[in-house]
Structure 1
Amino acid sequence: MKNRTSSRTRSREYLITDRPISAICAFSLPIMLGNLFQQFYTIADSVILGRFVSENALAAVGASGALTHVFICIAIGGGTGSAVLVGRWFGAREYGRMRLTVSTILLSFLNLSLFLSVVGFFLHRSLLELLRTPPELLPMAASYLQIYFLGLPFLFLYNVLSALFHALGRSRIPLYLLLFSSLLNITLDLTLVCGFHLGVAGAAWATLFSQGFSVLLSFLLFLQVLRSCTRDVVGPLPLFSPGEFQEICKVALPSIFQQSTVSIGTLLTQSVINPFGAQVLAGYSAASRVESLCIVPLSALGTAMSSYTAQNLGAALSAPGSVSRSGQPEPDPDSLDRAKKRVRQGYHASLRLTAGIAVLLCLFLEFFAPFLIRCFLGSEGTSAALSTGVGYLRFLGFFFALLGLKLCTDGILRGAADMGSFTLANLVNLTFRVAFAALTAPRLGPAYVWYAIPLGWLLNFLISWRAYRLGKWTPSSAP
């Protein structure tokens, strides 16, 4: 019995024990596939609306998409950041504290999502007007967004639960759930939009129902996983801890900010794109959907580096060492050195994977960008929409390597809880991108919105890489 238990423990701790490149690939591949299926929520909406309703319907979902992306990134950032602590306690085998952290995370994000849901439900139209949404698109965009806000708690809880699965090394479970919910979403989209002719409202209801059902399954499965990891914890624990909440905020808030730099930048640049009209907005929306798919494998590598770093450092910090003069236990220096070396090996492996993925993405977009944009626009798509989307994708295809460098380096800083350098790098990225687009695009054309993107990625990477090279992210004491 003891041998079976030990074998299960080692299989769950493969991020600590396996070869770095093997561990990162094993962890990130299910995340890549899962995130691809998650993107099908919005992509299915866009394709079905663009081909079976109208180009304006596609543009309307794109106009509201900048807002919806903000909340998706808050959920992903909060879940990923919070999961760093869960991964740390899991690696250190402090399962009681891990369980308390998990329950605090779930209650915190449930309350946050309910608050944002109520605020968004009543202010959605004002937000669209603030973004200068074209008047002809406003009614459809408002209808989609209002229903979307009703399902916001489902979105939050699902993304947080997925991050917690990943922190425990169970990245395949979210993949299976996403496959199911994506197929359900597409089926409901076709039924409500094409069968019942509900337009953008039908697409929004399809997303709400599929996410809600997926959250229920995800929560039930997560309870089983959590029980198996904490079966040796003795005695009841509170559901919420103010002390754990403070620790969660220290890591989760900068992670939310990092994710939000993308979404806030998209939100603000959306207000720059909107005045160019519905045709340009439709092409920009279609290209943004394709871009979100291209980013998935690079984002998965960044998430893998975050959990990989957290678990390896957590295991090293829990190794028995000496006792300080104050009587406090200190980690074993040799264990810390091995963990730091292993993190660096994982970083180099992730960069090699990034280079290969970036080359494939560049070639794919160069040859298939027109076909991809036509998939969204249909046969009646305008030339302005097509040229906008194709120009966006072909330009950005040359710079995905920069994004991968940024995400993998950010992943190490986040996994090591070096949130100061992490926050600074992403703040510079956001500020530059928004300022550049706002100053140049109104006078020189919409293409300057996406010209700013790789420059922001480069600045972010240089700041994060400097922090990595200086080694300030490496801990010197137990958590």
Structure 2
Amino acid sequence: MKLIFQFFLPILIGNLFQQLYSFVDSMVVGKGIGDTALAAVGNTSSVHFLIIGFAVGLTGGLGICISHSFGANDTKKLRKEIAMSVYICLAIGIVITTFSLLLMRRLFIFLQTPEDMMTDTLVYFGTILAGSTITIFNNFVMTLLRSVGNSKVPLVSMVLSAIANIVLDLLFVFPLHMGVFGAALATVLAQAISALYCFRHILRAPELLPQKGDWKADGKILAALTGKGLPVAVMNSVTAIGGMVLQVFVNQMGTAYVAAYAACMKVCGLFEQPGVTVGLALLTFTGQNYGAKKYDRIKSGVWAGVILSILVNLPFAALEIFAPKFLASLMLNDPTVISYTCIFLPLTGIALFPLGWLFVFRNACQGMGKTVLPMISGVVEVVMRVGIVQIAVPHFAFRGVAFAEISAWIGAGAMLMVTYLVYQVRLSKGVSK
């Protein structure tokens, strides 16, 4: 518990700062431009997770192989994997940027985006997509450092980028009146600052710097990296499809509900970070111990993670349950729109605990190199969201959207717990595959 907490705390602070500038971004947009602009920004969330989430999942999967090599003390293989990961990130960045910009308008039309927010939606998301390669490399360098046990440098990088984003947000939106374009540009520039800071520290670690011969394409390592990274990436994108379905239902309710839903998702994104971070800490802990063949430590570490996720979620769940109006008023202006968030947030606050367990068991499985069934858990999330939202919305309206969201968390979490227990039994019997 002590070791996991020491690794968890810097990641948590960094992730909270990273989500904080997303939260502040929404505050600046909502208070500085208006509720409709906030609705436009929030309307991009599910599509953003579909596209950028794919890339972030891929970089997280690359870190699984890197943590295994680091745990096995195989420096030669480690450097080769880092070099091949750079190629993968560059290729994915180019493909995502090109195709996403071409298909963006059609996608938002498919989501039935209200016409009064279409222009702001396209401007904001187009700017984010233009900087997607920067985002991918920023996530990769942070994943690389965490995979070798360094959670402090990513912490500092995220604090710096959060401060930069907030300052640039305020500058671009208020005195310069750059609208949603300015808010998006601030985010891209903040990601670049974070990536450069991490890269500066990687240059000081010779064991992480590929040598000339390491840059030669290696099909076997490329296949292994892709084999671990692709299921994680697909899982993120498949999960995002469920979010897009929910967004369609919300968009049909009108701009006021879209704005309320956007605010709720920003709160959920910020408050789920403790659970996400426990999972990230366990991903590295499990990966290194799996590479070192210390399977008993994996078991004790995972159950420590379950306890830790409960403890760290308590204050955040309490805020969602007892102070939803206050949280929403930080971003929204209209009292009616704020009242809609008070329907949604208490329900997701209660469900923060099963969501935290989902992250624990998903990352534990991924850390052991088992990425296929966690990918399938993303399908379970989609099925639960799509099925429940169609049943619940006609009867419970906006509350039905919340029911669909939390049912997805609970369903996928139950599947992943069973999956982890099966893998743990097999490890205890000496079966690692």
TM-score (norm 1): 0.85
Q: Aligned AA for 2:427? A: T
User: Quick check: 2:32–2:174 contact (8 Å CA) kept in 1?
Assistant: yes
Superposition map of 1:329-340 within 5 A: 339-340=294-295
Amino acid at match of 1:127: L
Q: Secondary structure at the match of 1:104?
A: helix
Report the Cα offset of residue 358 of structure 1: 2.8
Q: Give 2:427's aligned residue.
A: 474
CA deviations 1:49-88 (Å, max 9, x no partner) are 1111111111111112222222332232112211011000
CA distance in 1, matches of 2:297, 2:207: 28
Instruction: Say whether 1:375 aligns with 2:312.
Output: no
Percent of pairs with identical residues: 25
Residue 28 of structure 1 corresponds to 8
SS in 2 for 1:195: coil
Contact 2:75–2:207 at 8 Å: present in 1 too? no
Q: Distance in 1 between matches of 2:295 and 2:330?
A: 46
1:349 equivalent to 2:304? Answer yes
Deviation at 1:440, TM superposition (A): 3.3
Matches within 5 A, 1:430-449: 430-442=382-394, 444-449=396-401
Q: Given the alignment of the two structures, is residue 417 of structure 1 paired with residue 394 of structure 2, yes or no?
A: no
1:241 aligns with 2:241: no
Per the alignment, in what secondary structure is the counterpart of residue 93 of structure 1?
Answer: coil
CA distance in 2, matches of 1:309, 1:122: 40
The CA distance in 2 between the partners of 1:139 and 1:444, in whole Å, is: 31
Distance (Å, rounded) in 1 between the aligned partners of 2:165 and 2:186: 6
Give the secondary-structure state (helix, strand or coil) at the position aligned to 1:196.
coil
User: Given the alignment of the two structures, is residue 256 of structure 1 paired with residue 233 of structure 2, yes or no?
Assistant: yes
Describe the superposition over 1:364-413 as per-residue Cα deviations: whole angstroms up to 9, x where unpaired.
222221111000013xx241x11221221111111111011111111111
Change (3 A) 1:140 1:473: farther
Q: Which residue of 2 aligns with 1:134?
A: 114
The aligned residue for residue 450 of structure 1 is 402
| CA distance 1:452–1:234, change in 2 (3 Å) | closer
The one-letter amino acid paired with 2:368 is: A
Which of 217, 241, 245 does residue 197 from structure 2 map onto? 217
- Give the residue type in structure 2 aligned to 1:176: V
The 1:434/1:202 distance shift into structure 2, 3 A limit, reads: same
What is the CA-CA distance between 1:268 and the residue it aligns to? 2.1
Q: What's the CA shift string for 1:263-305, capped at 9, x where partnerless?
A: 3322221111111111111111011001001110101111111
Alignment check: 8 A CA contact 1:49 1:57 kept? yes
| 8 Å Cα contact 1:287-1:390 kept in structure 2 | no
Q: Which residue of 2 aligns with 1:117?
A: 97
Once residues 292 and 250 of structure 1 are traced to their aligned partners in structure 2, the CA distance between those partners, rounded to angstroms, is 28
The size of the alignment, in residue pairs, is 431
1:459 paired to 2:414 = no
Farther-moved stretch of structure 1 (94-103 vs 236-245): 236-245
CA distance in 2 between counterparts of 1:235 and 1:112 reads 23
Query: Which 10-residue stretch deviates more, 457-466 or 302-311?
Result: 457-466
Matches within 5 A, 1:285-300: 285-300=262-277
1:307 aligns with 2:284: yes
Alpha-carbon distance in 2 for matches of 1:450, 1:152: 30
What is the DSSP-based 3-state SS (H/G/I as helix, E as strand, rest coil) of the residue aligned with 1:79? Answer: helix
Contact kept in structure 2, 1:416 and 1:474, CA below 8 Å: no
- Are 2:58 and 1:78 aligned? yes
Which one-letter code corresponds to 1:203 in the other structure? A
Write the letter of the residue equivalent to 1:219: F
Change (3 A) 1:132 1:294: same
Aligned residue for 1:269? 246
For each residue in 1:249-271, what CA deviation from the matched residue of structure 2 results, as whole angstroms up to 9, or x when unmatched?
A: 22111212333344332222111
Distance 2:414 2:361 in 1: 10
* Maintained 8 Å contact 1:294/1:361: yes
Greater alpha carbon shift after TM alignment, 426-435 vs 290-299: 426-435
CA distance in 2 between partners of 1:473 and 1:223 (Å) = 40
Q: 1:229 to 1:107 in 2, by over 3 A?
A: closer
Give the unaligned 5+ runs of structure 1.
1-20, 317-338
SS at match of 1:271: helix
Greater Cα offset, 400-409 or 64-73: 64-73
Give the match's secondary structure for 1:236. helix
- Are the aligned partners of 2:238 and 2:378 in contact in 1 as well (CA < 8 Å)? yes
1:467 offset after TM fit, Å? Answer: 2.2
Aligned partner of 1:67 among 24, 29, 47? 47
Structure 1 residue matching 2:427: 3-state secondary structure = coil
Q: Give 1:228 deviation, angstroms.
A: 4.2
Identify the range of structure 1 (247-256 vs 39-48) with the bigger mean alpha-carbon deviation. 39-48
Residue 150 (structure 2) pairs with residue 197 (structure 1):
no
RMSD: 2.0
The code of the aligned residue for 2:119 comes to P
Structure 1 stretch displaced more, 435-444 or 397-406: 435-444
Whole-Å separation in 1 of the counterparts to 2:237 and 2:252: 23
Moved segments of 4+, more than 6 Å: none
Aligned equivalents of 2:193 and 2:320: distance in 1? 34
Structure 1 residues 397, 102: CA separation in 2 closer, same or farther (over 3 Å shift)?
Answer: same
* Structure 2: runs of 5+ lacking an equivalent: none
CA contact (8 A) 1:402 1:457 kept: yes
CA offset digits 1:88-143 (Å, max 9, x no partner): 00000001101111111121011111111111222222211111100100011111
SS at match of 1:24: helix
The offset of 1:310, in angstroms, is 1.0
Q: d(CA) in 1 for partners of 2:45 and 2:208?
A: 38
